[in-house]
Each structure stands twice: as C-alpha cells, then as structure tokens.
Amino acid sequence: MAQTTVSVRMDESLKRDFDKICNELGMTMSTAITMLAKKMTREQRLPFDAAVDPFFTPVALPAATPPRLRRQTV
C-alpha cells in the first residue's frame, strides 16, 4: 500500500504531551493518528463526542466578557 504524508499543526506543549502518551502506550504519534483515521473511516463518525460549549458562543461570550477586556470596534 502506498504511503502519503499528512502535516498537522498543533501547540508545541500538546505535541510534547501527545508524543509522551503515545510512547507510554508503545506507539508513535503517526500510528495513533492512523488509528484515529481508520476508526473514523470505518465508523463514519468522530470516536468521541464533539459539542459546542454554550458559554463560548458568539452570543454568550460578549455578555460574559468584562467591558474593559472587550475589543473596541471603530
């Protein structure tokens, strides 16, 4: 089977932590990502729940942000 390269951008500390747990599990980050891709392809879904936190919606966030921290619009 032909191989291809996938490039992923993530925070440096997340990468470090991800690499550490992968090593503890005896696998590479590449193996873990391949496992994720195979599971998603097989099941046609994310293998975990993904939801929007209602606190961080465009409507709720401005109301929860103190006026001194809000962006000034011109």
Res. 40: pLDDT tops 80: yes
Please give the share of the chain, as a percent, with pLDDT higher than 90.
Answer: 61
For residues 33 and 6, the answer to whether their CB atoms sit within 8 Å is yes
The overall pTM is greater than 0.75: no
Alpha carbon distances (Å) from 25 to 5, 31, 68: 23, 11, 46
First-last CA distance in the chain: 56
Domain boundaries, the chain: 9-45
